[in-house]
Structure formats: structure tokens, C-alpha cells
Amino acid sequence: MNPKKFGGLANHRQEPWKIPLPEFIEECYQKRFGKSQPDDTRSIEERIKAQAAKKAAKKTMKLTDEMAETIET
């Protein structure tokens, strides 16, 4: 599902046999994932913040591992 192409699908006023776009998206999600909404509903800001925290933790772990290796050798 490409969000750029949704504009072309949102013409239910011109073609009354089509369902409105929000209902179409819900129907596509239901078909693909077998549920009406995601289990984890977070805002984009929350996702970015969590991703940045995970990346920082990973970087810290990598640095501590490298420091431990240099000390051992």
C-alpha cells in the first residue's frame, strides 16, 4: 500500500460504488493482517524517540565491548 497512490483512490464522490478512503484502508488492513488495528499504536514522535534510545544503547554496548577487548589484549 503506497500512501502516494491513495489520492487516486479517494474519488468515492465521483464513483458512488467505491467506499470512502478511510474505510478502504481499514478493509485492506483487515485483509492483510487479520485484525482491525495494530497491537502497538504509538505516535511517530514516540517511535522516533524509542528508536533513538535503542540506537544509543546499542552504540554504548558496542563501545564498552570494544573497550573491554582492548583492555584484555
Q: How confident is the model at residue 13 (pLDDT cuts 50, 70, 90)?
A: low
State how far the Cα of 68 lies from the Cα of 73, in Å rounded to an integer: 9
By CB atoms closer than 10 A (0-12, 13-18, 19+), residue 52 is exposed
For the chain, give the number of residues.
Answer: 73
- The pLDDT assigned to 25 comes to 85
User: 17-43 pLDDT, tens per residue?
Assistant: 678 888 888 888 899 999 888 888 888
CA distance 18 to 12: 5
Residue keyed to cell 488492513? 29
What are the structural domain ranges in the chain? 10-38, 42-73
